[in-house]
């Protein structure tokens, strides 16, 4: 068994710097998360990447901003730059719920303690550093910086904010996954290029004075979007910006984006191509201890680490392009997959950890089943500007073969110390339905589904249909709910065939743009018809850099510029969310009165009848009816519920 030394982690104190025999540092990183030296934690990845280039790197996790600020000065001045990230989540999502209430726990802090990460952490940390070290460059990155790189709506302050480069005073911003741009930044700095001259590195952004010459690049075309001041005055023009930003973020040959901010110009350089297999392997193969820093040993476990301690991330990116999701905005829509060999090396490391009991908690990614999927003809993908490869239909050029993934699962399970590998990541159920995934081999889809159901879940399979209303699903860039019905039929068939008693756990969202109370009533009735009593639900939370958030703030769809309604008041949101819990006694009278006002007596009879079917009393939360003993006939599971409102739907 390997015993780690303190020097196996990146140093966090002067004592640890001295242990390594260093007199000065090249880069000092500041992070809103506790330091976990693991490839699933961005700050650790960046630290290890910089270290692999021969740099002397230290990290200051969760510096105190409420004292004399000595955490910001204790390691001195770095030779090259400070690096700042708010952490693995946007700090406002870490700190607040969808209803803007302060969270009781912070998953990225020992013991889940709150109060160790300030709101808008990247801006707070960077401003402190610029005050104390005005001549030292600051480079910001991570999801907070990435999604706030351009004019964006901030839900928690209810304001339209300029680029985080403006509010933080940072010198350079890296957006997306940072390995490729950081490699270029370090290479140029080591050649003696001044930090202030780093103006043509892909996947970076910076501010220049209006009278300053912007370096030309013969390989790039440029596009200018509406200035921040124009966006403040005109919500429709703000919305129109997003289409350009999203499309340029996902193109192989993207344009450089300019935006005016007061007396300066924001410059966003095009992104790097999707990481090659050898590049992403190299990132995951770095010498991580895979453990929290020993400084936390007496403070308690870090919840986010405990969740992924025995999990393996096999790819990055997501081609779903869901309107409410930030994954493709940060990781890109094209999939960067690790080699099977790299995954198996990590499995071996995990299997030899002293407290490993034989169970891997997850073999997955942003979506569990997108491993190795890509365009069949790359030249077609090179010209594509579609934000999603599977909405409104699966692209005929997309190879959705699940064979490499099935093969990987089987290879993992052959490890002598692995008793069982679970799939904890959500699965795109729509890609497993032949009626939707028309170019796939139906047998292959069934083989994968059967492999997962029989070997890789423990009673429950998580999927995310998100809604039942076709207008809402269309705006979400999700397929019709009919494909969830079809997937459930296949799920039930395998359950019977293999004599299993597995549950299907669907996730749903309320309060999404285009969703009305009647849509939620239909959702409640249809899922009740199917035997579900929902608990895996959430209210829509507007986060920067998503279609849905742009609609929430502006009232316009950024691609059509047509007005689109969104529930915004607390009353509207609470009423929509309440329909998820039709089975609670405290909601029944309210639901009955609401549906009667809507003229939906038909839904009253389904959701809150005077005499409830006794079989419902035995249903467990978030479960589906036992498909063997109390199966609902297929003819009753797809009751067509038309939206009776005469108002024109957006």
Q: Does 649 have pLDDT greater than 80? A: no
* CA nearest to 112, candidates 308, 305, 303, 306: 303
- In tens, the pLDDT along 213-264 reads 888 888 999 999 999 999 999 999 999 999 999 999 988 889 999 999 999 9
Residue 627 banded pLDDT, cuts 50, 70, 90:
very low
DSSP conformation letters of 333-367: SS-EE--HHHHHHHHHHHHTSTT--SEESEEE-SS
Q: Output the pLDDT for position 611.
A: 73
Residue 2 banded pLDDT, cuts 50, 70, 90:
low
Interval 44-61 mean pLDDT: 97
Is 618 within 8 Å of 491 (Cβ atoms)?
no
Mean pLDDT for the chain overall: 92
Interval 337-346 mean pLDDT: 97
Interval 326-354 mean pLDDT: 95
Q: How far apart are CA 336 and CA 280, in angstroms?
A: 7
Q: Output the pLDDT for position 620.
A: 47
- In tens, the pLDDT along 64-81 reads 999 999 999 999 999 999
Q: Output the pLDDT for position 328.
A: 87
Instruction: Give the distance, in angstroms, between the CA of residue 351 and the centroid of all CA atoms in the same chain.
Output: 27
Q: Output the pLDDT for position 563.
A: 97
% residues pLDDT > 90 (the chain): 88
pTM of the shown model:
0.92
Q: Does 633 have pLDDT greater than 70? A: no
- In tens, the pLDDT along 500-518 reads 999 999 999 999 999 999 9
Residue 628 banded pLDDT, cuts 50, 70, 90:
very low
- In tens, the pLDDT along 568-615 reads 999 999 999 999 999 999 999 999 999 999 999 999 999 999 876 655
Residue 181 banded pLDDT, cuts 50, 70, 90:
very high
Q: Does 647 have pLDDT greater than 60? A: no
% residues pLDDT > 70 (the chain): 94
In the numeric block, the tokens 């995954």 are attached to: 343
Q: How far apart are CA 42 and CA 34, in angstroms?
A: 11
Interval 36-40 mean pLDDT: 96
Would you tell me the crossing angle of helices 179-190 and 277-284 to the nearest 10 degrees?
Answer: 80
Q: Please, what is the end-to-end C-alpha distance for the chain in angstroms?
A: 61
């Amino acid at each position: 068994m390997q015993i780690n030394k303190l020097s196996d982690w990146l140093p966090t104190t002067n004592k640890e710097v001295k242990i390594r025999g260093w007199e000065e540092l090249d880069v000092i990183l500041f992070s809103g998360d506790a330091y976990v030296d693991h490839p699933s934690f961005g700050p650790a990845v960046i630290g290890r990447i910089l270290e692999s280039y021969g740099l002397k790197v230290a990290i200051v996790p969760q510096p105190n901003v409420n004292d004399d600020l000595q955490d910001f000065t204790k390691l001195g001045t770095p030779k090259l730059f400070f690096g700042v990230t708010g952490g693995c989540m946007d700090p406002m999502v870490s700190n607040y719920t969808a209803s803007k209430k302060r969270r009781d726990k912070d998953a990225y802090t020992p013991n889940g303690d709150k109060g160790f990460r300030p709101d808008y952490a990247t801006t707070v940390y960077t401003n402190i550093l610029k005050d104390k070290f005005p001549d030292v460059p600051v480079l910001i990155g991570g999801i907070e910086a990435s999604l706030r790189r351009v004019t964006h709506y901030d839900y928690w302050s209810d304001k339209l904010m300029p680029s985080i480069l403006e509010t933080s005073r940072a010198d350079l911003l890296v957006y997306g996954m940072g390995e490729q741009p950081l490699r270029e930044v370090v290479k140029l700095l080591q050649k003696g290029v001044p930090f202030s001259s780093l103006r043509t590195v892909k996947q970076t952004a910076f501010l220049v004075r209006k009278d300053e010459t912007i370096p030309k690049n013969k390989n790039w075309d440029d596009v200018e979007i509406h200035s921040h001041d124009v966006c403040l005055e005109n919500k429709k023009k703000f919305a129109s910006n997003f289409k350009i930003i999203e499309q340029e973020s996902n193109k192989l040959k993207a344009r450089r984006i300019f935006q005016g901010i007061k007396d300066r110009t924001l410059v966003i350089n095009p992104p790097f191509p999707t990481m090659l297999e050898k590049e992403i392997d190299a990132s995951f193969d770095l010498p991580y201890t895979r453990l929290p820093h020993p400084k936390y040993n007496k403070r308690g476990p870090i919840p986010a680490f405990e969740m992924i301690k025995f999990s393996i991330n096999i790819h990055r990116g997501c081609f779903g392009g869901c309107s409410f999701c930030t994954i493709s905005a940060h990781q890109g829509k094209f999939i960067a997959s690790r080699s099977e060999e790299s995954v198996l090396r990590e499995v071996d490391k995990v299997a030899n950890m002293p407290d490993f009991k034989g169970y891997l908690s997850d073999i997955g990614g942003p979506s569990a089943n997108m491993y190795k999927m890509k365009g069949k003809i790359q030249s077609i993908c090179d010209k594509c500007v579609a934000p999603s490869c599977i909405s409104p239909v699966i692209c005929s050029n997309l190879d959705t073969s699940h064979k490499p993934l099935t093969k990987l699962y089987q290879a993992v399970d052959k490890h002598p110390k692995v008793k069982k590998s679970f799939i904890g990541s959500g699965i795109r159920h729509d890609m497993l339905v032949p009626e939707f995934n028309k170019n796939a081999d139906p047998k292959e889809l069934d083989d994968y589904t059967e492999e997962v159901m029989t070997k890789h879940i423990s009673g429950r399979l998580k999927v995310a249909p998100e809604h039942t209303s076709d207008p809402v699903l269309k705006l979400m860039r999700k397929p019709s709910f009919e494909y969830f019905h079809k997937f459930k039929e296949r799920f039930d068939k395998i359950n019977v065939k293999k004599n299993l008693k597995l549950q299907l756990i669907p996730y749903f969202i309320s309060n999404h743009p285009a969703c009305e109370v009647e849509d939620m009533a239909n959702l409640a009735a249809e899922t009740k018809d199917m035997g579900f009593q929902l608990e895996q639900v959430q209210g829509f939370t507007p986060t920067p850099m998503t279609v849905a958030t742009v609609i929430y703030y502006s009232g316009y769809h950024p691609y059509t510029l047509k007005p689109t309604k969104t529930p915004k008041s607390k009353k509207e949101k609470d009423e929509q969310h309440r329909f998820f819990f039709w089975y609670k006694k405290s909601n029944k009278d309210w639901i009955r009165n609401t549906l009667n006002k809507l003229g939906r007596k038909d839904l009253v009879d389904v959701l809150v009848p005077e005499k409830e079917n006794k079989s419902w009393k035995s249903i467990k939360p978030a479960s589906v009816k036992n498909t063997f003993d109390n199966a609902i006939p297929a003819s009753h599971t797809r009751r067509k519920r038309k939206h009776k409102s005469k108002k024109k739907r957006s």
